[in-house]
Structure 1
C-alpha cells in the first residue's frame, strides 16, 4: 500500500470526496488539516498555491478531481468501460462548474447571503433537473455500482445545505442517492468518526 498524505483545510469541501474514497478502500492515510490562519505561511510551498494536494510515496498530486480520479481507479469507483468513464467525468465537471461559480463566503452577512441565495435560485434548478434526469430510475449515476460522481454529489450537496438548508430538497431521486451513498458501511463509519466542521 502506498504512503498517502492528504493536505487540505480543516473542513469537508474539496477534501471530502477524497476522504470518502480512502474510507471506501479502507486505506490508511495522513489527514493533514490546515487552519486558515496558517495558510499564508504554507501556501508558497504548495504546487499552484491551491489545496488539496495528495502526496503518494513522495510524489505530490494537485487538483482535487485529478486526485479523485486517480484514487477512484484504485478503489473500483471508476466506470466499467471508457464510455462510462466519460459519462462520470462529464457529470463530475458539470457539478464542479456549479460549485466553482458558487459565491463562497464564510462571513455571515446580508450581502453574501443575498448573492448565495440568488445563485442557488437561478443556477441550481437547471443543474439539479439535469442531474435527476441523468440518474433516472437507476441506483447510481453511471452503471450498476457506486462511483466517484455519487460521492461527489453527496459531499458537495451537504456543503451547499450548510448555506441553504433546502438545497435540492425537492429532488427526491437525488436525495435518495445521498442516502444510498451514506448507507455504504465504510462511508457511514467515516461520517460517524470524522471531525465535526462547519463545512
Structure 2
C-alpha cells in the first residue's frame, strides 16, 4: 500500500472529497492540516502554488478532482463501466462548475454577499431542478450503487445549506440522497471523528 500524505487547510473545502474516498475505501493516510498563517511560506514549495496536494510515496499530485479520480479509479466508486464513469465525471464537473462560480476569496464583503445571494437565488434553483430530474427515483445518481459523484453532492450541498438553509426544501429526493451518503458506516464514522470546521 502506498504512503499517502494529504496537505490542505484545517477545513473541509476542496480536500473533503479526497478524505471521503479514503474513509470509504478504508485507506490510511496522513491528514496534514495547515494554518492560514503558515500558508505563505509553504505556498512557494508547492507545484502550481495551490492545495490540496496528495503525496503518494513522495510523488506530489495536485488538483482535488484529479486526485479523487486517481483514488477512485479501479473501484466501484468511479462507476462500474466506462459509460458510468463518464456519467460520474459529468455530475462531479457539473457540481464543480457551480461551486467555482462563488467568489470564495473575495475580500470586499458587500460584493461577496451580493454575488453569493445572486447565485443561491438565481442559479442554484435551476441546477437543483436538473439534479433532481437526473436522480429521479433512483437511490444513487449513477448505476445501482454509491459513486464518488454522490459523495461530491453531499459535500457541495452541505456547504450550500450553510449559506441557504432552505435550499433543498422543495427537493426531498436530493436531501434523501445526502442522508443516504452520510449513513454509510465509513462516511458516518468519518463525519463523527473529523475536526469540526464551518466549511
> Superposition RMSD on alpha carbons, in Å?
1.6
Q: Distance in 2 between the 1:44 and 1:107 partners? A: 22
Q: How many residues align?
A: 199
Deviation at 1:76, TM superposition (A): 2.9
Deviation at 1:107, TM superposition (A): 7.0
Q: Distance in 1 between the 2:103 and 2:124 partners? A: 13
Judge which range, 132-141 or 105-114, deviates more.
Answer: 105-114
Give 1:82's aligned residue.
Answer: 82
Is 1:117 aligned to 2:102, yes or no? Answer: no
Deviation at 1:157, TM superposition (A): 0.9
Judge which range, 45-54 or 68-77, deviates more.
Answer: 68-77
Q: What's the secondary structure of 2:89's corresponding residue?
A: helix
Deviation at 1:103, TM superposition (A): 2.4
Give 1:127's aligned residue.
Answer: 127
Give 1:180's aligned residue.
Answer: 180
Q: Distance in 2 between the 1:28 and 1:50 partners? A: 23
Deviation at 1:9, TM superposition (A): 0.9
Q: TM-score, normalised by structure 1?
A: 0.94
Give 1:65's aligned residue.
Answer: 65
List aligned pairs for 1:94-105, cutoff 5 A.
Answer: 94-104=94-104
Q: Distance in 2 between the 1:23 and 1:130 partners? A: 29
Q: What's the secondary structure of 2:187's corresponding residue?
A: helix
Q: Distance in 1 between the 2:92 and 2:115 partners? A: 24
Relative distance call for 1:108 and 1:20 in structure 2 (3 A) is farther
Following TM superposition, the consecutive aligned residue runs of length 4 or more in structure 1 with deviations greater than 3 angstroms are 105-111
Give 1:30's aligned residue.
Answer: 30
Is 1:171 aligned to 2:171, yes or no? Answer: yes
Give 2:16's aligned residue.
Answer: 16
Give 2:93's aligned residue.
Answer: 93
Q: Distance in 2 between the 1:105 and 1:123 partners? A: 20
List aligned pairs for 1:151-170, cutoff 5 A.
Answer: 151-170=151-170
The question of whether the paired residues in 2 share the 8 Å contact of 1:78 and 1:147 is answered with yes
Q: What's the secondary structure of 1:86's corresponding residue?
A: helix
Q: Distance in 2 between the 1:32 and 1:7 partners? A: 5
Judge which range, 128-137 or 98-107, deviates more.
Answer: 98-107
Query: What are the Cα deviations for residues 126-150 of structure 1, in whole angstroms up to 9, with x where unaligned?
Result: 1111111111110000000000100
Query: What are the Cα deviations for residues 40-90 of structure 1, in whole angstroms up to 9, with x where unaligned?
Result: 111111111111111111111111111011111244311111111111111
Q: Gapped runs of 5+ residues in structure 2? A: none
The question of whether the paired residues in 2 share the 8 Å contact of 1:2 and 1:56 is answered with yes
Q: What's the secondary structure of 1:61's corresponding residue?
A: strand
